[in-house]
């Protein structure tokens, strides 16, 4: 499965089977997480065989069952922490999808108190990403249209259209899709977070999707 197929097939999954993640799969995820941490300065942590974070009232309210693994998204407080968390977290999410796992970004419906993670000086937990073998593969979300989420004067280049199509597949908090992608020059793109909770985190996720589908060689971010 290539990364474009992973973006097409990824849907949030909230019910998991008790199948553990095999050690060789954990190692591949851990290597990618280590690489993301080196590149981003984040402190992403893979937590396996830990059911407590998803065993309380909040997880029940969110209808999560069987979650035993998650990625704790941790980083030092900074103005761009949320956007980086989204960008690099989605990179791990899409690798997980390629490895046959399912995921769900979770900001609210888990127990922060019971979750297992470490914080270094100045760091905070942004949110977690549930991980495991889903009881289902989830379902496609309803999406706003291309014309609502993009702006482009004149003919739309193929690479921009492709990037935007895959950006529409990105997970966003409560499926809010509060972002705008604008072609501002021949090969420059402005990505803006509109008002909404977690909109900056969503923007990082959306930018990762756009970049993978549009191709790094075709444009630069404004």
Ligand X SMILES: Cc1cc2nc3c(=O)[nH]c(=O)nc-3n(C[C@H](O)[C@H](O)[C@H](O)COP(=O)(O)O)c2cc1C
Closest separation in Å from C-beta 140 to ligand X: 7
Contact 166, 154 (CB under 8 A): no
Spatial neighbors of 207 by CB under 8 A, at least 6 apart, are 83, 86, 87, 167, 191, 221
**In whole angstroms, what is the distance from residue 11 CA to residue 214 CA?**
21
Report the C-alpha gap between 182 and 153 in whole angstroms. 9
Closest CA to 207 of 216, 196, 198, 217: 216
Task: Between 146 and 152, name the residue whose CB sits nearer to ligand X.
Answer: 146
Stretch that binds ligand X, among 10-18, 32-40, 71-79, 117-125 (CB under 6 A): 10-18
Of 10 and 183, CB closest to ligand X: 10
Residues 86-115: x where in contact with ligand X by CB under 6 A, - otherwise, as a string: ------------------xxxxxx------
**Contacts to ligand X from residues 136-175, by CB under 6 A:** 138, 141, 171-175
Candidates 3, 4, 8, 12: give the one binding ligand X (CB under 6 A): 12
Among left, alpha and beta (phi > 0; psi -120 to 50; other), residue 154 is left
Q: Using CB atoms, what's the residue nearest to ligand X?
A: 171
Residues that bind ligand X (CB under 6 A): 11-12, 14, 62, 104-109, 138, 141, 171-175, 198, 201-202, 205
């Amino acid at each position: 499965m290539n990364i474009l197929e992973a973006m097409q097939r990824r849907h949030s999954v909230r019910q998991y089977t008790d199948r553990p993640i095999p050690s060789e799969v954990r190692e591949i995820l851990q290597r990618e997480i280590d690489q993301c941490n080196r590149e981003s300065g984040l402190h992403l942590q893979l937590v396996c065989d830990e059911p407590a974070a998803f065993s309380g009232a909040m997880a029940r309210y969110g209808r999560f069952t069987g979650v035993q693994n998650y990625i704790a998204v941790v980083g030092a407080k900074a103005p761009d922490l949320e956007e980086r968390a989204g960008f690099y977290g989605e990179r791990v999410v899409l690798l997980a999808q390629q490895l046959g796992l399912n995921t769900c970004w979770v900001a609210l419906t888990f127990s922060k108190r019971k979750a297992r993670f470490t914080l270094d000086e100045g760091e905070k937990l942004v949110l977690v990403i549930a991980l495991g073998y889903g009881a289902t593969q989830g379902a496609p979300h309803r999406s706003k249209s291309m014309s609502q989420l993009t702006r482009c004067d004149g003919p739309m280049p193929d690479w921009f259209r492709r990037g935007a199509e895959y950006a529409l597949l990105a997970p966003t908090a409560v499926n809010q899709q509060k972002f705008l992608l604008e072609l501002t020059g021949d090969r420059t793109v402005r990505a803006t977070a509109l008002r909404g909770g977690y909109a900056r985190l969503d923007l990082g996720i959306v930018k990762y999707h756009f970049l993978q589908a549009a191709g790094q060689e075709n444009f630069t971010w404004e």
